[in-house]
Amino acid sequence: MSSADKNLSTYSGVIPDLSSKTFGIVVAEWNEEITEPLYEGAVETLLKHGIPKANIIRMNVPGTFELSLGAQRFAQKVSIDAVICLGCVIQGETRHFDFICQAVSAGITDVNLKYNKPVIFGVLTTDNKEQAFDRAGGKHGNKGDEAAITALKMLALPF
């Protein structure tokens, strides 16, 4: 189902008490007008589910491409239980969009597997700014909410 047919901020299921867990959130500074609302949505969702503010640590990186290294720096810390990566890549006139999206998705996947920790892909890959705003607190909810819920659900898995 495409996000055009679903509000990203709705979710189902029970989230257990994870208040002892610590979350690293890596935020791309590029497209800050999009990534800041994503961050706010993620933090609000974590707080709503009992995560103390002191257990939410932010790291800014220059752009979406740098999310993978930021995620790796968090993931290698024993004190961090899950990492949430938030960024936004908007299609332009060149193939730059394709290269960045591919590199970031592969990089975040690699960090997941290397550190055996949830590293969540909260990156918007849109055709234009309007679509990004729609997914950063607009008519399609907030992808930051979805990323935070994904991190919580991954930590709740029985493994």
Determine the pLDDT at residue 7.
60
Q: Which domains does the chain have, with CATH numbers?
A: 19-156 (3.40.50.960)
Determine the pLDDT at residue 1.
42
Pick the range with the lowest mean pLDDT from 31-35, 49-53, 56-60, 95-99: 95-99
Among residues 156, 148, 80, 68, which one has the least CA distance to residue 107? 68
Residue among 6, 48, 96, 114 flagged as catalytic: 96
Give the C-alpha distances (Å, rounded to integers) separating 45 from 48, 107, 112.
Answer: 5, 25, 22
Determine the pLDDT at residue 5.
58
Determine the pLDDT at residue 6.
57
The pLDDT > 90 percentage for the chain reads 84
Among residues 82, 65, 78, which one has the least CA distance to residue 119? 82
- Res. 9 pLDDT band, cuts 50 70 90: low
pTM of the entire structure? Answer: 0.92
Reported as a single tens digit per residue, the pLDDT across 101-119 is 999 999 999 999 999 999 9
Q: What is the mean pLDDT of residues 25-49?
A: 97
Q: Does the annotation mark 96 as catalytic?
A: yes
Residue 69 has pLDDT above 60, yes or no: yes
